[in-house]
Amino acid sequence: MAGPRGRASYLTDEEKKNSPKITKELITRVFSYLKPYWKQLALVLVCIAVSSVCSLFPSILTGNIIDVLTGKEMGGWIGAGISALVKLIILSLGLTLASSLIGVGETYLNNWIAQHISYDMRNQMYRHLQKMSQRFFTSANQGDIITRMTSDISGVESVVTNTFTSILSNTMTLVVALVAMFQKSWILALVGIAIVPVFTLPTRMAGKKRWKLAGEAQACNDEVNGILNETLSVSGQLLVKLFGREQSEYERYEEANGRMISLNIRERMAGRWFFMLLHTLTSIGPMLLYLVGGILIMKYDSTITVGDITVLVALLGRLYGPVNSLLNIQVDWIRSMAMFTRIFEYYDMKPEIDDKPDAKELKNAKGDINFDHVSFTYDGERMILKDINFTLRSGDCVAIVGPSGSGKSTIVNLIPRLWDPTAGSVTFDGTDVRDLTLHSLRDEVGVVTQETYLFNGTIRENLLYAKPDATEAEMIDACQKANIYDFIKNQPDGLDTMVGNRGLKLSGGEKQRISIARALLKDPALLIFDEATSALDSISEAAIQAAINPLIEERTSILIAHRLSTILAADEILVVRDGEIVERGTHKDLVHAGGTYQELYETQFSKAIE
């Protein structure tokens, strides 16, 4: 039969092209994940072996039952008559029961092992991804990361529960059935074996057609899901509404939906006639055995009994399933190895930014920052920062201004080591940031980002993210300083107000003030404030300005500023243009100097205070 959707029994052209190279190292690595569970695995093997044998024996015993019924004694080990019959029946039932019970235990163990392996792999992957640098997250496809974490690792579960056990149990069943068949009659066994491919090969061919259709239906299904994701998301819906595209989006959805159902129907009907014919033909197998067996009994070999022929027919019926499954094993195997290879590719990516083996802890941080001839490129080609030099003494406040894209955010991102400089060095309290442990360094750097990111939870939960053990009083104090407490107090749920998906239930200004309160709670030695470029009304702007002041009062701070009020709060202004510091000084020094600052002042800052 065709494989189920998603785990079909045929490789796609792409899968064939990208088949992994199966090396000894790869297999050893795959098996290293099984190693901690070797005891449970050994038990599964025993269960499979015993249950395969137990499940076949009732078929073999049926022959003996028939022989007893037809008056043929068997080897004398059980005696003829009613008592032998009862014993055989009880034995047969007992074996069936035993096989089912073992099957239950085996399924439990199997799933237990699979879930534990997947648990180990997911945790390992999460830990590893957390260490990956900003470059990885800005360039990797987000969907790809999620797929590795979910589908690929879930796929591993099915490798353990299906592929491994299917190989074992099918091989076991096949071997036991064949041995039993040959033991009864080698001629009839050969006749049986000759019949098997007549049924299994056409089944595979019909399955392939069905699988192709399933693939098309899946692609169509993905398209439908894509439309749903795009048009029913918060921002998608907004766009549809604002542009009045409801009808055209509905038509697009209806068309794809219609295509999907017709493909589904075709897929489910594909090969249906063929299987009907096949089903009828299946009876040919037993008939052939009856014919050849009958001729043998009547004309040549009187040792074969009617019971033997019944057993052979029953066993023949048990061969199709395992043969079909084993024919698919190669596909399952390649697919599983490809899955492991994809997962291992992720594991093998080296974190670009990591602690040095001898990294030092940053203790009693003061917040002295120095940029010494720092240059930086993201892609190895375009220099984004060129020879940046500046010093910030503990308690200083510097504003970085410059046109959009001039490199302001890039400069500050080098301090908490979201990136490392291409040349030159950044020091924190006199030590190169690359020689400090990431954890201790980032503990001392608080960043209020331009795009405020809040988790979908309560205000309290978002605040506690900065300091999990903060007391209620500390939280209220931080909110008061950040000028957001009045707003929180007026909410019916206070600090337990839900902020919505990414903080969507709050205005831009409110979100930013909560994020300032969060930074205040963290109480870092250095504060970086990346001011939002988006326009705020003057009341929100004043509220934010009042929130920033306590932040910068007692600590070193860097403000990426777009508004004059923020710039005026700084001790020094660094003007960046095309990755270079082109001017520095105070507002008074620069506003009439005829340079970039004056230009920015006339085009942006002065407007912002109107």
If the CB atoms of residues 41 and 561 are measured against ligand ATP, the closer one turns out to be 561
Least separation, in Å, of the C-beta of 415 and ligand ATP? 13
What is the nearest approach in angstroms of ligand ATP to the Cβ of residue 361? 29
- Residue 605 is classified by DSSP as I
Please say whether the beta carbons of 402 and 576 come within 8 A: yes
For residue 408, state whether it binds ligand ATP (rule: CB under 6 A).
yes
Task: Single out the residue of 404, 430, 468, 588 in contact with ligand ATP (rule: CB under 6 A).
Answer: 404
Give the integer Cα–Cα distance in Å for 60 and 180. Answer: 8
Q: Taken in order 4, 7, 10, 12, is the CA torsion positive or negative?
A: positive
Q: Per-residue contact track with ligand ATP, 65 to 94, x per CB under 6 A?
A: ------------------------------
Helix %, strand %, coil % of the chain (to 5): 65, 10, 25
φ/ψ (deg, to 5) at 560: -90, 110
What is the closest distance, in whole angstroms, from the C-beta atom of residue 575 to ligand ATP in the complex? 11
Q: Considering beta carbons, is residue 138 or 491 the nearer one to ligand ATP? A: 138
Closest CB 551 distance from ligand ATP, rounded Å: 20
Q: Does 405 bind ligand ATP (CB under 6 A)?
A: yes
Q: How near is the Cβ of 606 to ligand ATP at its closest, in Å?
A: 18
Distances from the Cα of 236 to the Cα of 251, 296, 454, angstroms: 16, 75, 20
CB 436 within 8 A of CB 445: no
Of residues 259, 102, 224, 223, the one with CA closest to residue 169: 102
Q: 402, 416, 421, 503: which one contacts ligand ATP (CB under 6 A)?
A: 402
DSSP track, 208-245? HHHHHHHHHHHHHHHHHHHHHHHHSSHHHHHHHHHTT-
DSSP code, position 498: B
Sign of CA dihedral 480, 483, 484, 485: positive
Instruction: Return the SS3 of 454.
Output: coil
Question: Out of 406, 452, 556, 565, which residue is the one contacting ligand ATP (CB under 6 A)?
Answer: 406
Read off the amino acid at residue 302.
S
Shortest spacing between CB 526 and ligand ATP, in angstroms: 18
Q: What is the largest distance, in Å, between two alpha-carbon atoms of the chain?
A: 119
Q: How far is the CB of 389 from ligand ATP (least distance, A)?
A: 17
Is residue 559 helix, strand or coil? strand
Q: Judged by CB under 6 A, does residue 534 bind ligand ATP?
A: no
| Residue 410 touching ligand ATP (CB under 6 A) | yes
Query: Which listed range, 44-52, 99-107, 191-199, 399-407, lies at the site for ligand ATP (CB under 6 A)?
Result: 399-407
Least Cβ distance, residue 212 to ligand ATP (angstroms): 41
The interface region with ligand ATP, picked from 83-91, 99-107, 398-406, 515-523 by CB under 6 A, is 398-406
Range in contact with ligand ATP (rule: CB under 6 A) among 266-274, 407-415, 474-482, 591-599: 407-415
Amino acid identity of residue 565, one-letter, is S
* Residues 137 to 176 in contact with ligand ATP, rule: CB under 6 A: 138
Interaction of residue 409 with ligand ATP, rule CB under 6 A: yes
Q: How far is the CB of 392 from ligand ATP (least distance, A)?
A: 18
Distance of alpha carbon 109 from alpha carbon 43, whole angstroms: 8
Closest approach of ligand ATP to the CB of residue 428, in Å:
20
Three-state secondary structure string covering 194-214? HHHHHHHHHHHHHHHHHHHHH
Which tokens belong to 332?
A: 């399952």
Considering the complex, what minimum distance in angstroms separates the CB of residue 470 from ligand ATP?
30
User: Smaller CB distance to ligand ATP: residue 156 or 415?
Assistant: 415
Return the number of the residue (169 or 410) whose C-beta is nearest ligand ATP: 410
Q: Are 153 and 122 in contact (CB under 8 A)?
A: yes
Site string for ligand ATP, 104-143 (x = CB under 6 A): ----------------------------------x-----
The SS3 of residue 446 is: strand
441 binds ligand ATP (CB under 6 A): no
Nearer to ligand ATP, 221 or 409 (CB): 409
Q: Rule CB under 6 A: is residue 416 a binding residue for ligand ATP?
A: no
CA separation, residue 50 to residues 30, 369, 561 (Å): 26, 70, 74
Q: Are 462 and 454 in contact (CB under 8 A)?
A: yes
Q: How big is the site for ligand ATP, counted in residues (CB under 6 A)?
A: 11
| Residue 382: CB minimum distance to ligand ATP, A | 8
Amino acid at residue number 5: R
Nearer to ligand ATP, 270 or 384 (CB): 384
Binding mask 368-387 for ligand ATP (x = CB under 6 A): ----------x-----x---
Strand positions, DSSP E, 320-403 = 369-377, 383-392, 397-401
Cβ contact 416:447 at 8 Å: yes
Quote the least distance from Cβ 450 to ligand ATP, whole Å: 6
Select from 293, 407, 421, 509 the one that contacts ligand ATP (CB under 6 A).
Answer: 407
Residues in 468-527 that interact with ligand ATP by CB under 6 A: none
- Name the packing angle between helices 165-184 and 38-69 (round to 10°): 30
| Interface contacts to ligand ATP, rule CB under 6 A | 138, 378, 384, 402, 404-410
